[in-house]
Chain A
């Protein structure tokens, strides 16, 4: 008997040793797993603010509404009430309530007042989850630039996508020991790894200029019976983009009805044939290489045979004597082709590359186009002629604005930028990386080009861009569009790119109107430039400057 008891005792001791020593870790973990719960603490998504720190995109709390169909007692009745409050189809709600499972979303990111209304009904089987929702307090202000996020808070377009990593932050977690009834044990495990909020993206956008640019663009598109348009306003000294507008746009707070086309930031993602605004590069290469002097005179007909093709000026005129300044001011295609003949393929192609054609601007914007530019070695005389006046190549509106910003900045290219930097959660500011500035043309060349552009506005095709008290420098452009098969059609893009004051440029504005009724850039786009420039003068307190002299010219446009 004693032996049996001893044996049993030994058995118990051995079992205890196994439990306490061998299986200790595993059993302890099992116990902890039953009591301890770890929850993810989502990081707050960073804001996107304008250059003055005013929020343009911010996160707020919304609620996901879900159903646990096992707990639903009256699916038909509940479906009716839910559909009415959430403005959903009754059948869709009924499908969710009768789903064969334990969890089904009914609607995601419902605003708090609506969710509260529904919660007050206390419907069985209906639950709510607090979730962050992206909100754009200024509404449809630069929506294509800011971009959008999906229902899971992931940036899928624009700056939201480009700076997803910086905006998202790092999630934390909380480990809590819970009692049998699910309440936290006050003296139990309570370890918190705090989430790190996302950084604030500080843009270069000016809320007021952006709004005025959009308003003016919308009116201009309507007035010209056009399909759409883009506007870029930037500081040539820093590359800061004050405004970037594309019409038509969409409301980022209600993207349900927005078309994919309206979500594209065409100022960056769409390349088009620039037309006559490109002639300034032809002039730049002529001056830089010394191929054409400012006093040189060309006899310019209204049309000219180039290879198998005949090229024309925009209007019929007798053979005229023109200087380089006249060719730019009157926007003569024939004159530009004659200048390009003097410059040559290699030099002309080289300067187009130096001004940034054929590559992205370094903005890093999702979907940014680089445009197209054939290598100059493949050019024949026809391509040389057409390229000289901006056909046969394609650039984005931002690339074109950057060309004029380079001239306005004394010949030095500065990378355009939409983001100044990031404000970290601890308040420190980190500047955004940018390419080093590079010299494209000599300051003297930039000065001569500015004089030519001032002549365009003073006495050329750009007179509708004049602003009393300020000397404006700019260039009109009209280009034919291509169809899907690469053939020219009778649809046009009208544009105007310029800066002011000519002697001390503070702002560059690039405007393009897509398929206007009046096709000429001087008629369709220059007035829009003028409206935006007038507002920029007030908003940025731009002082007037002494006028620059006009270039030698042989013509005077009435």
Chain B
């Protein structure tokens, strides 16, 4: 964090302590009245030190404004990014859901189309018949316990 400029000692400016003090008035002070020092006041023109301090204030406010503006822009940009990503994520989730639904539909179709009753009905429509039980003869080969199967 930066330190406010006005708290920093200006190396170009002589410390106040070294300024020449005005000469004390030679008139005797009336009792009961504060000393009038108007004649001893410096001229009303702005000293160079104060001008320099005011300049540093302007720089600070400009800098702060820029920082705030950047922060606002940054926050808005990040927020927009988050929103955009959220929409993209939802889109992807929708795609995943749609694909899952498609997959389930296909599974159902496979199970339905391969069901024995449907296959049998289709075969029947196309003139196929199941062999009568007498027409199927399991072969038993002597000496082979597997009934001749490979």
Give chain B nearest CB distance to A172 CB in angstroms. Answer: 14
Chain A residues with CB under 8 A of B73: none
Q: Which of B102-143 contact A (CB under 8 A)?
A: 104-105, 107-108, 111-112, 114-118, 120, 133, 136-140
A186 touches B145 (CB 8 A): no
Interface residue? A141 (CB, 8 A): yes
B115 touches A543 (CB 8 A): no
Chain B residues with CB under 8 A of A34: none
Interface string of A522-556 (1 = CB under 8 A from B): 00000000110010011001011110000000000
B116 touches A137 (CB 8 A): no
Interface residue? A207 (CB, 8 A): yes
Chain A residues with CB under 8 A of B146: 543-544
For B108, give its contact among A60, A470, A537 (CB under 8 Å). A60
- Please, which residue of chain B has its CB at the minimum distance from the CB of A207? B116
B136 touches A541 (CB 8 A): no
B145 touches A546 (CB 8 A): yes
Q: Which of B63-89 contact A (CB under 8 A)?
A: 79, 82-83, 86-87
Chain A residues with CB under 8 A of B87: 186
Interface residue? B147 (CB, 8 A): yes
**Cα-based distance from A54 to B101 in the complex (angstroms):** 18
For B117, give its contact among A61, A140, A467 (CB under 8 Å). A140
Interface residue? B149 (CB, 8 A): yes
| Total chain B interface residues with beta-carbon distance under 8 A | 29
Chain A residues with CB under 8 A of B148: 544
Give chain A nearest CB distance to B144 CB in angstroms. Answer: 8
Q: Which of B8-62 contact A (CB under 8 A)?
A: none
Chain A: interface size category: 20 to 34
Interface secondary structure of B, over-half rule: helix
- Please, which residue of chain B has its CB at the minimum distance from the CB of A546? B145
A211 touches B147 (CB 8 A): no
Interface residue? A135 (CB, 8 A): yes
Give chain B nearest CB distance to A196 CB in angstroms. Answer: 16
Chain B residues with CB under 8 A of A60: 104-105, 108
A544 touches B145 (CB 8 A): yes
Give chain B nearest CB distance to A123 CB in angstroms. Answer: 26
* A-B pair number, CB within 8 angstroms: 80
A186 touches B86 (CB 8 A): yes
A211 touches B133 (CB 8 A): no
B115 touches A137 (CB 8 A): yes
- Please, which residue of chain B has its CB at the minimum distance from the CB of A138? B115
Contacts A543-B149, A544-B145; is A530 near B117 (CB within 8 Å)? no
Chain B residues with CB under 8 A of A530: 133
Chain A residues with CB under 8 A of B82: 186-187
B139 touches A469 (CB 8 A): yes
Give chain B nearest CB distance to A517 CB in angstroms. Answer: 21
Contacts A55-B107, A186-B87, A543-B146; is A139 near B115 (CB within 8 Å)? yes
Contacts A137-B108, A545-B145; is A211 near B120 (CB within 8 Å)? yes
A538 touches B140 (CB 8 A): no
B115 touches A469 (CB 8 A): no
Interface residue? A215 (CB, 8 A): yes
By CB atoms of chain B within 10 A, which of A187, A538, A543 has the most?
A: A543
Interface residue? A208 (CB, 8 A): yes
B101 touches A534 (CB 8 A): no
Interface residue? A382 (CB, 8 A): no
A544 touches B136 (CB 8 A): no
Give chain A nearest CB distance to B74 CB in angstroms. Answer: 16
Give chain B nearest CB distance to A377 CB in angstroms. Answer: 47
B138 touches A208 (CB 8 A): no
**Cα-based distance from A356 to B23 in the complex (angstroms):** 129
Give chain A nearest CB distance to B16 CB in angstroms. Answer: 43
B140 touches A141 (CB 8 A): no
Contacts A60-B104, A138-B111; is A468 near B138 (CB within 8 Å)? yes
Give chain A nearest CB distance to B138 CB in angstroms. Answer: 5
By CB atoms of chain A within 10 A, which of B79, B83, B136, B139 has the most?
A: B136
B108 touches A58 (CB 8 A): yes
**Cα-based distance from A137 to B108 in the complex (angstroms):** 6
Q: Which of A162-199 contact B (CB under 8 A)?
A: 186-187
Give chain B nearest CB distance to A467 CB in angstroms. Answer: 7
Chain A residues with CB under 8 A of B137: 468-469
Give chain A nearest CB distance to B107 CB in angstroms. Answer: 7
For A543, give its contact among B79, B101, B111, B147 (CB under 8 Å). B147
A538 touches B136 (CB 8 A): yes
Chain A residues with CB under 8 A of B138: 467-470, 534, 537-538, 544
B108 touches A541 (CB 8 A): no
Chain B residues with CB under 8 A of A470: 138, 140, 147
**Cα-based distance from A541 to B146 in the complex (angstroms):** 9
Q: Which of A204-220 contact B (CB under 8 A)?
A: 207-208, 210-212, 215
21 contacts between A and B (CB under 8 A): A54-B111, A55-B107, A55-B111, A56-B111, A58-B111, A60-B108, A61-B101, A138-B112, A138-B117, A141-B116, A186-B87, A187-B82, A187-B83, A211-B117, A467-B138, A469-B147, A534-B138, A543-B146, A544-B145, A544-B147, A544-B148
Q: Which 6 A-B pairs have the closest CB atoms?
A: A544-B147, A211-B116, A137-B111, A138-B115, A469-B140, A543-B146
Given contacts A537-B138, A541-B149, 7 further A-B contacts (CB under 8 A): A60-B105, A187-B82, A468-B137, A470-B138, A534-B138, A543-B147, A546-B145
